Amino acid sequence: MKQTIFFSLLLLFPFISYGQPPNGLLNRPQSTNQMGGTENGVNMSKEKLNINTPIESNSLLKQDSSYFNVNQKFEERELSGQEDTKDLRETDKTVQIFSAFSLVRQNAKLNKFQRTPLPAEQAEMDAKVKQLEVISPNSWEYQLAYYSAGNYNLDRSPALEKAYQMNPENLEVQKQYVSLKLMNGDTISVQNALSLMSVNDVITLEVETYTSDVLTSCAMNSTLITHGFEDTYGALLNQFSYQQRLDVNVVSLDFLQSPQYRKALEGKGYVLPKSTKIDVGYLSQFCYLNADKGLFLSVTIPRNYLEPISKKLFPVGLTFQYVESPAEDLPIRQENLWFYELNKYGLNEGEQRSKFAMNYMPMLMYLEQKYIQEGNEVLLLQIRESMDFILGKKVIKKAGN
């Protein structure tokens, strides 16, 4: 099988990807020519995309808790002049320990192979929580750290409720609060919290419109597997605030750390691996056990997770469908998605190029090969203009192309 332009374009990804880029291996789907013949797709299982972008790439991590606001807190206390020396020392110590806790937790989230913290990371977080309990057991920092160290274990939910009452403006508190209410089935609180995050630009318009396209890419009554903050919370925002694609069940690899979340999924008919460590192997087993659930994986899932199952992954819009072989209607499905269904925010005339632009490339390369085989020069030109725009070569001449 010839190695087409498809390979060379994929190798460009590390140099021009932004946001949460496609981080996986692809199987080239089958395409049907005008004569009704079928061409086997290129097997991508041995091709690696060397993405060097941080995995948990989102604005929230950059503002995560007090770790990124220590100086501001010091300045506020210096201006107030109302706390005595002992209280200042205790408060300063609380901020320092909580900052160290937040840094450990952030590093755990950047792991390219698993969502569950490493044993050493978990032990360090637990130690910081105990320190906070001794120094300032009534602080919102202790309450949030105690809940966060439980990795979405709802047995610790009273602590998060206290943290939310004490500091509802904190971004990490808001993020954890959404996950808590989601797992508890409190849809009204979830909708309100997500709307607030959207208004405050924690979930940006770019993320909102991109994840709208991700949901659109999924088949009816399917399962969308997500990984990080942007793809998970963006998809949930579109579902809860705009009632988009409520037939799609969003399954977060991050939330799967929660025993209650896993139990709820089992109640919906999912078969879960016996392991409680959410890692590369867990995703492979989950897909194998639930292949009948219409699985679509967000292209923002790190490459390492996708490598073991790459032979069963085929690009569909902004997702990889987990299936033995691509659907017969995949060519027309891809065409309809690109030309009629996706909003493609950040790819149209007059818009600044989206940081998610590269994530549209697998679909475009599929269509490029389709039109080459069909000899459709008109549509091939339009697709290549869009690819050039994404690659930064030139501006699209017509909106929507």
pLDDT tens digits for 215-224? Answer: 999 999 999 9
pLDDT the model gives residue 88: 57
Residue 392 to residues 266, 344, 386: CA-CA distances in angstroms? Answer: 45, 16, 10
Is pLDDT larger for residue 380 or for residue 73? 380
Q: Is the pLDDT score of 60 beyond 70? A: no
Place of tokens 């209280």: 87
Our measurement of the distance from residue 325's CA atom to the centroid of its chain's CA atoms, rounded to an integer in Å, reads 25
Closest CA to 229 of 361, 346, 63: 63
Q: Does residue 78 carry a pLDDT above 70?
A: no
Residue ranges per domain, the chain? 5-56+332-390, 59-199
Name the average pLDDT for the chain.
Answer: 82
Give the whole-angstrom CA distance, residue 215 versus residue 223: 10
- Checking if the pLDDT of 140 tops 70, the result is yes
pLDDT in tens, 278-293: 999 999 999 999 999 9
CA distance 245 to 366: 25
pLDDT classification of 351: cutoffs 50, 70, 90? confident
pLDDT of residue 11: 35
Exposure string (b/e) for 103-129, b if CB count within 10 Å is 16 or more?
Answer: bbbbebbebeebbbbeeebbebbbebb
pLDDT digits (tens, 9 = 90+) for 262-317: 999 999 999 999 999 999 999 999 999 999 999 999 999 999 999 999 999 999 99
With contact defined as beta carbons under 8 Å apart, do 58 and 201 qualify? Answer: no
Residues 235 and 145: their CA atoms lie apart, in Å, by 26
Q: What is the pTM of this model?
A: 0.80
> Rounded mean pLDDT of 11-17?
37
| pLDDT of the residue at 86 | 54
Number of Cβ atoms within 10 Å of the Cβ of 196? 16
Residue 85: the pLDDT is: 56
Asked if pLDDT for residue 107 goes beyond 60, the answer is yes
Angle of the 171-184 helix axis to the 259-267 helix axis, nearest 10: 40
CB 387 within 8 A of CB 368: yes
